[in-house]
Amino acid sequence: MQPIKCAVIGVGHLGKYHAEKYAASKESELVAVCDTNYTRTQEIANHHHVAAFSDYHALLGLVTAVSIVTPTTSHHTIAKFFLSQGVHVFVEKPMTMTVEEADELINISEKNNLVLQVGHIERFNPAIVACKPLIQNPTYIETQRLSPFNPRCLEVNVVLDLMIHDIDLIKHIVPAKITEIHATGASIITNDIDIANARIQFDNGCIANLNASRVSHVTERNIKIYHQKSYIFADLKDRTLLTFQKNNHEMHDVLNTTHPVENYDALHDELTAFLHAIKTQTKPLISGVDGRTNLSIALAITHHIEKKIKLAEFA
Ligand code: NAD
């Protein structure tokens, strides 16, 4: 089968790597890149010896699939254009700004039989892949996702930018319905939520406690998954995996085990999964419906926090 003709729209911090993966893969052919910043698009296009565009409409007829790696405010308009014109779409997280926009993209992709995959890359993190078979029936989950302040991606709050990765993971890990959400947060540097905590209750009794900050002095990404008599610690940044198990022979003893984690490229695997779904005409691992669910939870958390911030203003 011929390589799939791909283009990347938005070749900033992350889009540059999308272009690299398509250019390097035997499954795809990078035919063009597009960015409203023409200097940037030319720089990346020259590097890969492909066409450069500053208007994504010009890609029509040249591509079978696109990656949309622009700021979230433009995801819906660009994805709608390509899905309506018969082009498969990989769109970065968060999928769109609103649930209605996400629904519209899902409907068009289904009607036109097109793959719509959303960029929840942590599912491809080797530490998560290695930890998945060890998870049974968690009773409690804690996640920590802290980043130093960065002026990129400020069009959305920290819940939609960072916490949404962990929302995707806990939905993947806990096979149950969400019954309650409590959340708090604060704006520190921007006028939007920069730091957030959410407590999510599932109908099987499991509780997930999620922390996200974009105003930290350190970078941390980890998840702790507690079971009866054991827990798993996965470091998603350093890609390490530890388990702590109660020693059945000693009352207060705990057995620690370090598990091997393969060191592979999560973005390569994520985009290979997208290309595979196109080739095999199958549902992608992280579909538009998954992206929409994650977005709706992130928006519910945002709503809780904003309601509390408003009340605090009147206190
Ligand atoms: P960035 O600002 O570095 O890059 C965005 C690029 O898009 C810029 O070069 C900008 O000029 C270009 N652009 C803006 N509007 C455009 C348009 N209409 N047409 C073409 N180009 C346009 O941002 P980034 O950090 O690369 O983030 C981009 C997206 O990727 C965001 O949705 C973000 O949430 C997501 N992201 C995901 C992850 C992840 O782990 N999955 C990590 C970082 C960013």
Say yes or no: CB of residue 43 within 6 Å of ligand 1: no
**Assigned token pair, 46:** 């020259």
Q: Containing H/E element for 259?
A: strand 254-259
Quote the radius of gyration of the chain (alpha carbons, Å): 20
The residue whose CA is least distant from atom 9 of ligand 1 is: 12
Model confidence pLDDT, tens digit, residues 204-247: 999 999 999 999 999 999 999 999 888 999 999 999 999 998 87
Q: Containing H/E element for 241?
A: strand 240-246
Pocket test residue of 35, 73, 268 for ligand 1, highest count of atoms within 8 A of CB? 35
Pocket test residue of 33, 60, 80, 92 for ligand 1, highest count of atoms within 8 A of CB? 92
Say yes or no: CB of residue 284 within 6 Å of ligand 1: no
How many C-beta atoms lie closer than 10 Å to residue 107's C-beta?
A: 12
Quote the ligand 1 centre to 152 CA distance (angstroms). Answer: 8
Omega cis (within 30) before 133: no
Hunting for tokens 């960029």 — which residue is that? Answer: 119
Atom of ligand 1 nearest to the CA of 122: 40
Q: Check pLDDT > 80 for residue 313.
A: no
Say yes or no: CB of residue 132 within 6 Å of ligand 1: no
Cα gap 303→298, rounded to integer Å:
9
pLDDT of res. 153: 78
> What is the 8-class DSSP label of residue 94?
S
Cα gap 303→257, rounded to integer Å:
40
Q: Check pLDDT > 70 for residue 79.
A: yes
pLDDT of res. 201: 98
Q: How confident is the model at residue 311 (pLDDT cuts 50, 70, 90)?
A: low
pTM of the shown model: 0.96
Q: How confident is the model at residue 287 (pLDDT cuts 50, 70, 90)?
A: very high
pLDDT of res. 315: 63
pLDDT of res. 226: 96
pLDDT of res. 255: 85
Say yes or no: CB of residue 15 within 6 Å of ligand 1: yes
pLDDT of res. 134: 95
Instruction: List the one residue out of 86, 109, 85 whose CA is nearest residue 96.
Output: 109
Q: Check pLDDT > 80 for residue 314.
A: no
Quote the ligand 1 centre to 8 CA distance (angstroms). Answer: 10
Amino acid letter, 75 = H
Model confidence pLDDT, tens digit, residues 15-30: 999 999 999 999 999 9
Say yes or no: CB of residue 121 within 6 Å of ligand 1: yes
Model confidence pLDDT, tens digit, residues 123-155: 999 999 999 999 999 999 999 999 999 988 799
Quote the ligand 1 centre to 72 CA distance (angstroms). Answer: 7
